[in-house]
Amino acid sequence: MTIALIIVSCGGDEADETKERLTVATQKNLPGIAWVPPNSYKRSGFDHQLSQRIGEELGAKVNPLDIPIGDRVTVLTESDADLAIAAFSITADRMKKIDFAGPYITTYQGFLTGKQSPNIRSAHDLKGRRICAWADTTNLTPLRGLDVEVVQKEDATDCITAVTKNEVDAFSTDQLLLYGFADRYASKGLKVVPKLTVGAPQHYGIGLPKKDRARCKLIRDYLKRYVNGTEWITDIQANLPKVVQTLPDWQNHLKPTNAAIDARSCRDAPNP
The domains located in the chain, with CATH, are 5-107+202-264 (3.40.190.10), 109-200 (3.40.190.10)
E strands present in 96-197: 99-113, 130-134, 149-153, 170-174, 191-192
* Cα–Cα dist 118/137, whole Å: 25
Stated pTM of the model = 0.90
* Cα–Cα dist 111/106, whole Å: 16
Q: Which residues contact 164 (CB under 8 A, 6 or more apart)?
A: 114, 115, 185, 188, 190
CA gyration radius, the chain:
19
Per the CB < 8 A criterion, the answer to whether 235 and 50 are in contact is yes
* Cα–Cα dist 219/109, whole Å: 26
**Cis status, amide bond into 256, omega within 30 of 0:** no
Per the CB < 8 A criterion, the answer to whether 205 and 88 are in contact is yes
* Cα–Cα dist 138/88, whole Å: 10
Per-residue pLDDT of the chain (272 residues; tens, 9 = 90+): 444 433 333 443 332 356 789 999 999 999 999 999 988 889 999 999 999 999 999 999 999 999 999 999 999 999 999 999 999 999 999 999 999 999 999 999 999 999 999 999 999 999 999 999 988 888 999 998 899 999 999 989 999 999 999 999 999 999 999 999 999 999 999 999 999 999 999 999 999 999 999 999 999 999 999 999 999 999 999 999 999 999 889 999 999 999 999 999 999 999 97
